[in-house]
Amino acid sequence: MLKFIGSGSAFNTKLGNNSAYYKVGNQMLLIDCGSNIFHRIKENNLLEGIEHIHVLITHTHADHVGSLADFIFYCYYCHGEMAKPNVSVYSAYDVKIEELLAINGIMPGVQCFIKKCQSDTQYTLNFCKVLFERSSHVKEIPSYSIELSIDDKLIYYTGDTNYLKESLRNPKVFDFVYVDTCKADYEGNVHLSLRKLSELVSPDERSKFWCMHVDEGFDRQEAETLGFNVVTNEFLTF
């Protein structure tokens, strides 16, 4: 359903930062824009035919927002009509995206639009519905999961998390669950290990789950043998 520019964790340079997208006509939805994502978007011509980009931000770790300012400046100056904003950034109200962009020299309303969302409240974008829900990640900054409704499909995108809420373990209403999964498995891990995911989700439910944000030690085959899916990057060239 969603396509991925990168599917790796912060230090997984091979798979790139985790970032998903979905295109409808001349509109594009982008989830997060980590340090190496702008580069990959540009090198792979992903903006071709796109006139407006809706960027959903889960949290402000660099592997999720590191190239957001570059991306916005590029769209403002080099994509579409010169000096006309064509990016809207959406985040939960307590994610400090305005501050982050301000220190990068971006003025909301000038180079981009910023939409602050209440958590647990559904918002309608022109081709989908979006809801931010607090996730369990780190104590320093707020982090969110995203519930998305596109084309009658209900999608849950965990963002960074080390926990899977009860209702997702038997995800009757969801068609796709994209989940932060890693090989690393230790007490205090801020991501969800494949071992823990396997304990939480019964084999019958696993076909709806798509592992993403995987670390370098992650074994795709092991996850697939357990019955989970693993996302793949859309582009081979970086």
- Chain residues in the site for Zn ion (CB under 5 A): 61, 160
3 state SS of 113: strand
Placement of tokens 């092991």 in the chain: 222
In whole angstroms, how large is the CA radius of gyration of the chain?
17
Q: Which of 174, 171, 179, 220 is nearest to 197 (CA)?
A: 179
Distance of closest approach, residue 65 Cβ to Zn ion, in angstroms: 10
Q: Are 208 and 5 contacting, i.e. CB atoms less than 8 angstroms apart?
A: no
Q: What is the Cα–Cα distance from 74 to 111, expressed in whole angstroms?
A: 10
Q: How far is the CB of 234 from Zn ion (least distance, A)?
A: 22
Q: Which is nearer to Zn ion, 160 or 215 (CB)?
A: 160
Sign of CA dihedral 123, 79, 6, 203: positive
The helix or strand, by DSSP H or E, that contains position 115, with its residue range, turns out to be strand 113-117
Residue with Cβ nearer Zn ion (10 or 87) = 10
Q: Output the smallest distance, CB 125 to Zn ion, in A.
A: 24
CB-nearer residue toward Zn ion: 40 or 61: 61
- Least Å distance between CB 60 and Zn ion? 9
- In whole angstroms, the minimum distance from the beta carbon of 188 to Zn ion comes to 14
CA-nearest of 99, 139, 94 to 118 is 94
